[in-house]
Structure 1
């Protein structure tokens, strides 16, 4: 029976069942008396076991079966729940997730699970447990054993084709084995920096372990990548060694002929092994048939997977359509033809609906990233002997897929920092009059055309004096400059490369270590990160991210002969005032706006617009807001509201102040898009 037709359904359903197991285990740990939670976990494990057996993944089915036995004993009150027991079940779930991930990547689902199976059997028999540390568990992992050999193993047909075509075009292919220092903190951050260097030199074809495991730090100190480049071995090695905490780099040139020969031998061996079984009965067992029947009964899938690159192409085509729609609007207005008016209006309605669909296709809930954090925080709390509650709010908030893919690593760094050097130990918290259980709040929400993610802890906060002292000793700033800094500017110093106020090196993190990577990653996405902290009360890291909606609604304004676009999401209202109503306060021109002092910003001065005619008696004001702060942008006139395509200015003009991009208007003119956040800041 061909099981490939069920593979995609199997993988998706397995991920859902494992996610349920992880979430419910965390709930059960806090409510060990609630056996209904055990029943929920048992049902997911039982379903996963049946599906795995049907699909022929023996390691997956065997491990799930052993876990199911333990859960059955728990719900029948034969086994008492203990922290050590939870540790083993979480280890089992980790192994199950790794197997499913391997299958999703085209693997055979094989994994050495004897260690966890043995411990589950010990629990089932009522024997005492010796729980391994994280390092011991990692050392026993077959993934890590593979890495110690520093070999990539096999390449599939697609990868071999890429390597062969690259060779024909004159590129070189290298296998690069990279070892990080034993005392390396935040290994995933260093891996990210290595990949950033390699991607500037060429194209990374493959990594071992895969990128997902590297991101989650599921590897020892060593990892291997295959790179296609036109650089020499010496040039490539020199660039990698510049990354801090990289210890050893070994590079070997790939011999494609040898790889092909090895692959052919393996295929011949497989065929030989399979031949004696050709006469045997290949029909599935009765149990498998039953499970297969269950699978077939599921409602047909109403979703399809679409490569993100295809969505990018669709978005680019739609952007061109929006520009042409604007041009048609302009022509229709100029010609004043009723039939053309009606046609253009209908086209506008249809393209608006199409626009909503195209943009929504790329939106994904941040829940897909947040889901993995509760288990991570639980394990870190165990390792650090701390008590921590993680509260997640706004997991349904949606972000563009490209941002979702990149935001996971920075959030991991910030949560690790909060766990290790934010939240204190229970003893210290009690001595300060706090609850012994620390709290970390992870919150996501929309505001205007941005998504905000907050990570707040009620821990020790940031010691300003220590930060300044470290910054001075590192030569980051002078004593004169230090005396002028505000509290927030002092906190910003911890984003300097390699900056840390940690007294001792920790296995998890040092407050500030890796935050340079966090800041760089978020800014590369067009976002920003800020800090607020109170000593002994806690810290808040606020991440602001764009929705990456390349089509936005704006108010088009005119300054002399130039047109500018102000995003509607930043605008409160527009107004016209008399010039004589302007007052001066602290060298700043202001107006009285409904009882509040509103600062005025003259865009013609900020953007150095040449003045061709004299100022009028009345001024047009666009009132914008960023958080609690407001300002009035002074323009010459309002043109009107329209939807525009946001185009990047490119690297050459990326430093232009208060300009976030540009757009092409219906008449072919280019209008710059005003960054209100930068102006108010």
Structure 2
């Protein structure tokens, strides 16, 4: 009877993913300790198992790739080869090829539809195993004939394409999760106990009905016994329900290696595309998070990796000149801290240049010189989280549009209900620390009353609840404040901030010695920023199931979710970061300049009529006023005759090319700081550098042109 391999494909995929995860950890460990024979043995066993399993199922491309990888690992195990950088690179490429093929299977591809094994890769692996010269063992990755794997983010930089063309993708996780048998057994056991307790509650209900039907006064001893039984039954049932909920949540917990392993692969590919040498180290990938958290964690981590590789870690020659090793160090580390998971993304790169941050903020008119001088070092560093902010001297398709770090903070704070901290030292590196709850399904919640309503906040935003006399408040230009533990904290009545009728003494009432009632203050924070909210009364604190807002309410920025209270009353949870933002807007000086509503004027210079018209249609659809010029000389004349807010130019044009036009415009006072964007088919790095040298603010390659790229770039430059 013929073997029905379809029955075994899913099991093979699950086992292969486990082996690939162990291989990723093993190669990373081997990279740090090249003489680790046990790691080599583990890698060999994984490759050998995948080869045998795939051969039984007639998965020929996987068999061939695993066989070639096994040959190289055999040579390492027998001491015929040493794990130098070239060999490590080949091991990574072999593992990546297997990941791609397994990913295609997981996406539903039929076994016979798998592409053939990459012959160049197999040849390179076997040549390295036999000690022959390997023409493919350079830092340039081998060509691949397979698509991106399910294991990796859906968008990775191609080694041959412009790195800018890729956007950070989402992790594509399967709809199912694997649950350890002991966890499932524990849930089934608890369900049995809950059902048993439910039977006991029915018995108590019958007892109560007998009391109700008895016309005579119940015996006091019997009533006391009933009361005791009811109390104990409720407490037992409550404990069982809490434990059952906890066990059920654990069934959704997944290890962080689901995110970390693909990211380490992505980091290597990004580094190669940028011409940098980077070791990516992963620690704590066994820490578990709720599946819902992992689903949303990929994007912010990809952005942080891009930031570290593009802005942080320097090119090898720069690092050597600074006395550093040529290879940079990038670390992904996780650990558990009570009911929280901490994730650090750190590098040993150049760090954040505070002077460059201040100049960029001043140039984009985000803050005045006086406001910048008043910022602390930490506040200056956190300018990078502002939308549209970037320190890149040149905007490319890869980075520099300022649409990354604000996304990170928004995802971590708003979507994941976490916190994000930044530390950086010039010349020594940068570290981003994410503090995340284990799960978003149930969280600690503080309920209170303000303005006649019952409201709540989740515990991660609460510093403390304290009652202080009004005489402790200090009058400031923006309102009231107090000093608490040597910190200066703004104070405002929550009802006043939300526009609700206040039943407490408002902060606008100046405190006096004769009338100095105590105020109940809820001190909240987000990062290093704190705010003291005057509330009416504390209701209660406890673990609550967080209910998402219905679709028609999700646009409310101040509300993050809802919980039930008492008899299924719905209580709104306040979003503390939005409260802090509203407080900042409330205290903002009224003399601040209002944003201009005038349509920006853009000059488009290109010798191709079709290109000019495409760019004109795109920009006018977004509200820009566009003027066209057919070559560099025509563009220069129009720029000198009129005033423009931004200029888009091609490079290859008659009479005057785009480089010369850009350089000439920078000589004019009116265009010294005007955004100039080069849009060209030239994609060589030397051309990009030349664009930067003549003063361009952005460089977009026509081959990867996307109207969103152009519009986002203009928005970032015009502010």
TM-score where L is the length of structure 2: 0.60
Judged with a 3 Å threshold, the aligned counterparts in structure 2 of structure 1 residues 611 and 631 are, in CA distance, closer, same or farther, namely closer
Of structures 1 and 2, the larger Rg is shown by 2
Counterpart position of 2:142:
137
What secondary structure sits across from 1:370 in the alignment?
A: helix
Deviation at 1:477, TM superposition (A): 7.0
Judged with a 3 Å threshold, the aligned counterparts in structure 2 of structure 1 residues 407 and 184 are, in CA distance, closer, same or farther, namely same
Does structure 2 conserve the Cα–Cα contact (< 8 Å) formed by 1:646 and 1:662? yes
Judged with a 3 Å threshold, the aligned counterparts in structure 2 of structure 1 residues 496 and 39 are, in CA distance, closer, same or farther, namely same
Judged with a 3 Å threshold, the aligned counterparts in structure 2 of structure 1 residues 67 and 407 are, in CA distance, closer, same or farther, namely same
Deviation at 1:185, TM superposition (A): 0.8
Counterpart position of 2:166:
187
Judged with a 3 Å threshold, the aligned counterparts in structure 2 of structure 1 residues 653 and 487 are, in CA distance, closer, same or farther, namely farther
What secondary structure sits across from 2:52 in the alignment?
A: helix
Counterpart position of 2:311:
421
Gaps of at least 5 residues in structure 1 are: 145-178, 193-210, 214-299, 306-327, 329-334
Instruction: Indicate yes or no: 2:62 matched with 1:60.
Output: yes
Q: Specify which of 42, 62, 68 is matched with residue 44 of structure 2.
A: 42
Counterpart position of 2:90:
88
What secondary structure sits across from 2:181 in the alignment?
A: coil
Give the whole-Å Cα distance in 2 for the aligned partners of 1:591 and 1:475: 31
Give the whole-Å Cα distance in 1 for the aligned partners of 2:356 and 2:17: 45
Deviation at 1:88, TM superposition (A): 2.5
Gaps of at least 5 residues in structure 2 are: 149-157, 174-178, 185-204, 206-211, 213-222, 506-514, 582-719
Deviation at 1:635, TM superposition (A): 2.9
What secondary structure sits across from 1:549 in the alignment?
A: coil
Counterpart position of 1:640:
540
Cα shift readout 1:191-225 (whole Å, capped 9, x = no counterpart): 77xxxxxxxxxxxxxxxxxx859xxxxxxxxxxxx
What secondary structure sits across from 2:142 in the alignment?
A: helix
Judged with a 3 Å threshold, the aligned counterparts in structure 2 of structure 1 residues 500 and 598 are, in CA distance, closer, same or farther, namely closer
Instruction: Indicate yes or no: 2:449 matched with 1:558.
Output: yes
More displaced stretch, 67-76 vs 556-565: 556-565
Deviation at 1:52, TM superposition (A): 1.6
Give the whole-Å Cα distance in 1 for the aligned partners of 2:278 and 2:490: 44
Deviation at 1:128, TM superposition (A): 1.0
Deviation at 1:369, TM superposition (A): 0.6
Counterpart position of 1:98:
100
More displaced stretch, 102-111 vs 337-346: 337-346
What secondary structure sits across from 1:63 in the alignment?
A: helix
Does structure 2 conserve the Cα–Cα contact (< 8 Å) formed by 1:555 and 1:567? yes
Q: Specify which of 177, 181, 189 is matched with residue 302 of structure 1.
A: 181
Instruction: Indicate yes or no: 2:274 matched with 1:371.
Output: no
Deviation at 1:32, TM superposition (A): 2.5
Counterpart position of 2:426:
535
Give the whole-Å Cα distance in 2 for the aligned partners of 1:567 and 1:473: 38
Does structure 2 conserve the Cα–Cα contact (< 8 Å) formed by 1:501 and 1:511? no
Q: Specify which of 477, 494, 506 is matched with residue 603 of structure 1.
A: 494
What secondary structure sits across from 2:349 in the alignment?
A: coil
Judged with a 3 Å threshold, the aligned counterparts in structure 2 of structure 1 residues 391 and 95 are, in CA distance, closer, same or farther, namely closer
Deviation at 1:66, TM superposition (A): 2.3
Judged with a 3 Å threshold, the aligned counterparts in structure 2 of structure 1 residues 142 and 500 are, in CA distance, closer, same or farther, namely same
Counterpart position of 1:127:
132
More displaced stretch, 471-480 vs 438-447: 471-480
Give the whole-Å Cα distance in 1 for the aligned partners of 2:84 and 2:323: 29
Q: Specify which of 70, 73, 91 is matched with residue 72 of structure 2.
A: 70
Does structure 1 conserve the Cα–Cα contact (< 8 Å) formed by 2:391 and 2:400? yes
Counterpart position of 1:229:
none
Counterpart position of 2:14:
12
Give the whole-Å Cα distance in 2 for the aligned partners of 1:450 and 1:81: 38
Judged with a 3 Å threshold, the aligned counterparts in structure 2 of structure 1 residues 561 and 543 are, in CA distance, closer, same or farther, namely same
Judged with a 3 Å threshold, the aligned counterparts in structure 2 of structure 1 residues 520 and 610 are, in CA distance, closer, same or farther, namely closer
Judged with a 3 Å threshold, the aligned counterparts in structure 2 of structure 1 residues 476 and 399 are, in CA distance, closer, same or farther, namely same
Judged with a 3 Å threshold, the aligned counterparts in structure 2 of structure 1 residues 93 and 551 are, in CA distance, closer, same or farther, namely closer
Give the whole-Å Cα distance in 1 for the aligned partners of 2:130 and 2:335: 48
What secondary structure sits across from 2:300 in the alignment?
A: helix
Judged with a 3 Å threshold, the aligned counterparts in structure 2 of structure 1 residues 524 and 343 are, in CA distance, closer, same or farther, namely same
| Aligned pairs for 1:78-477 within 5 A | 78-109=80-111, 110-113=114-117, 114-131=119-136, 137-138=142-143, 140-143=144-147, 183=162, 185=164, 187-189=166-168, 302=181, 338=227, 344-381=234-271, 386-434=276-324, 436-445=326-335, 451-467=341-357, 469-470=359-360
Deviation at 1:575, TM superposition (A): 4.5
Give the whole-Å Cα distance in 2 for the aligned partners of 1:668 and 1:121: 67
Judged with a 3 Å threshold, the aligned counterparts in structure 2 of structure 1 residues 393 and 35 are, in CA distance, closer, same or farther, namely closer
Judged with a 3 Å threshold, the aligned counterparts in structure 2 of structure 1 residues 71 and 456 are, in CA distance, closer, same or farther, namely closer
What secondary structure sits across from 1:554 in the alignment?
A: strand
Give the whole-Å Cα distance in 2 for the aligned partners of 1:589 and 1:497: 29
Q: Specify which of 497, 517, 525 is matched with residue 415 of structure 2.
A: 525
Does structure 1 conserve the Cα–Cα contact (< 8 Å) formed by 2:344 and 2:431? yes
Cα shift readout 1:42-69 (whole Å, capped 9, x = no counterpart): 1221222221222222222222222222
Counterpart position of 1:291:
none
Give the whole-Å Cα distance in 1 for the aligned partners of 2:500 and 2:109: 61
Cα shift readout 1:148-191 (whole Å, capped 9, x = no counterpart): xxxxxxxxxxxxxxxxxxxxxxxxxxxxxxx9x964615133x7
Number of equivalenced pairs: 512
Give the whole-Å Cα distance in 2 for the aligned partners of 1:71 and 1:542: 37
What secondary structure sits across from 1:121 in the alignment?
A: helix
Judged with a 3 Å threshold, the aligned counterparts in structure 2 of structure 1 residues 83 and 580 are, in CA distance, closer, same or farther, namely closer
More displaced stretch, 365-374 vs 666-675: 666-675
Cα shift readout 1:232-290 (whole Å, capped 9, x = no counterpart): xxxxxxxxxxxxxxxxxxxxxxxxxxxxxxxxxxxxxxxxxxxxxxxxxxxxxxxxxxx
More displaced stretch, 425-434 vs 105-114: 425-434
What secondary structure sits across from 2:23 in the alignment?
A: helix
Deviation at 1:377, TM superposition (A): 3.6
